[in-house]
Amino acid sequence: MPPPTPQSPDSVSRILAAARELFSERGFDAVSMNAVAAAAGVSKANIFHHFRSKDALYLAVVKAACDAFCEETERLGVPEGRFEARLRRYAGEHLAHVLANGPVSRLILRDLLEKGTTRGQEFAEQVFGQNFARLVEILRAGQQRGELRADADPAMAAVLMIGADLTYFQAREVFRHFPDMACADAPAEYSRSAMDILLYGILPRGDENRED
C-alpha cells in the first residue's frame, strides 16, 4: 500500500499520532523525522509539506493535546448553574485530561525542565497562552458578577488550579506512601479537596485572622 500523498486527508492525523508516540517515548532530541515518517507510513517530504520543521511538528503535537481541552474552558464560560459548581467540574475535568494524556503531559514537563528558556516562550505563545487567557477572562467575569472575591488575582487562581493538577500528576507515586494522603489514588477526591482549599482557604471564616 503506497504512503498517502500530501493531499491525503489522513496524512496529518497519521503524522501527529506517530510523532506523539515517538516524542513521548524517546523525547524530542532522540526522534528523527525519518523515524516519524516510517512510523506514520509517509515520506519525509510529506511531513515537511505539512510541518516546516521538527520543532513545528513537536509544537503541533503538544497543541493538539491542549486544544482537546479548550472546549471545556468554553463550557466553563457558559453562565448556567452556580459558578462554583462549574469551577469544580472544570478542575476535575482538567485533572482527568492531564492523566489521560500522561505521555504528553510528561513530555511537556520534562521539556520545560530541560529547555525552559526557549520552550517556555513557545508554549506560552503557541500552545497554552490562549486557553490560559480565556480561563483568566472567565474568572474575572465571575468577579465582576460578585461570584468570586473582588481582591483575588484571577491569573493566580488559574495558576493554582492548573498547578494542583500537575503536582498530582508528578507526585502521586509519592503521595501513595503518605499515610495522611487519603486521596492519592482518587483523583476526583483530590480535585474536590484542592478546590475546597482554593475556594475557601484554610483560615477560619472572618477577617479577624487575616494578615493584610
pTM, full prediction: 0.85
Q: Please list the rounded mean pLDDT of every run of 10 residues in the chain (212 residues).
A: 53 93 90 95 93 94 89 92 95 96 90 87 92 96 94 96 96 95 95 96 70 50
The pLDDT value recorded for residue 155 is 97
Q: Can you give the residue ranges of every domain in the chain?
A: 1-51, 65-209
135 three-class SS: helix
What class, spelled out in words, does domain 65-209 have in CATH?
mainly alpha
Per-residue confidence (pLDDT) for residue 207, from 0 to 100:
56
Query: In this predicted structure, what is the pLDDT of residue 132?
Result: 96
SS3 143: helix
pLDDT of residue 36: 96
- pLDDT at position 185 is 94
Rounded to the nearest 10 degrees, the angle between the axes of helix 11-26 and helix 54-76 is 100
Picking from 140, 43, 13, the residue whose alpha carbon sits closest to that of residue 83 is: 140
Burial class for 81, CB neighbours closer than 10 Å (0-12, 13-18, 19+): exposed
Provide the grid cell at 6: 500530501
At residue 30, the 3 state secondary structure works out as coil
SS3 154: helix
Determine phi and psi for 52, rounding to 5 degrees.
Answer: -70, -20
Is residue 56 a contact partner of residue 156, using CB atoms and an 8 Å limit? no
The pLDDT value recorded for residue 210 is: 52
- Strand segments, DSSP code E, in 101-161 are none
C-alpha cell at 200: 475557601
Name the fold adopted by 1-51. Answer: Arc Repressor Mutant, subunit A (1.10.10)
Could you tell me the three cell numbers for 29?
532530541
Q: Which one, of 75, 70, 91, 96, lies nearest residue 169 by Cα?
A: 96
- The pLDDT of residue 53 is 94
